Structure 1
């Protein structure tokens, strides 16, 4: 479905996803794609309604809130994020902007002397008695 959606077949995909989402009301991934398909088919209000129904169903049946992916999609729809109309599927789902994804920690700056574990190492404090830090 995601591939067909990426190719611009949002009207047909929306109908199929609506049927699948009705058959599997707790499958967030289906609802997420349905929201995107509806938004791309110029049905923003319907896309928002899908999220509200999903949130109610998860709350009532399982006592849960929708996952981050569905929440990000909902927020992007409310913000009318231009990336939602771009064709393509990212690793985080179709049409999510970098701003909607969590930041990557790869290559994060670590100050000199940082030893991990949330603490800075101070050589003078970690030297054994009788030894100098070097």
Structure 2
């Protein structure tokens, strides 16, 4: 059993992906600072933040699942921003594709948690 959210494989994957997005987005044009750059960084970080929040809200299945749903949505949003970065020629497709696919894996892990929440819910003493 995991003791903290940081130990969860989905959290580690999401954190690593967010850090890669941060690194890659440093090269985006200055005029994108408060739009695409900010948006892709925020959504990628939000995946991690919501996993942490869900972990702390696992006293009830409803809170746990609801917060993981937000994390899943943020992961999908991150994929959209990656698509924009490719279309705007800020990222090469061969650079963005592995990251996009990593978010497919993250989403799959989140969906698994959402569909199987019982084992994660804290038991009442």
> Smaller-chain TM-score range?
0.3 to 0.5
Larger proportion of helix: 2
TM-score with structure 2 length normalisation?
A: 0.34
Higher relative contact order (CA 8 A, sep 6+): 2
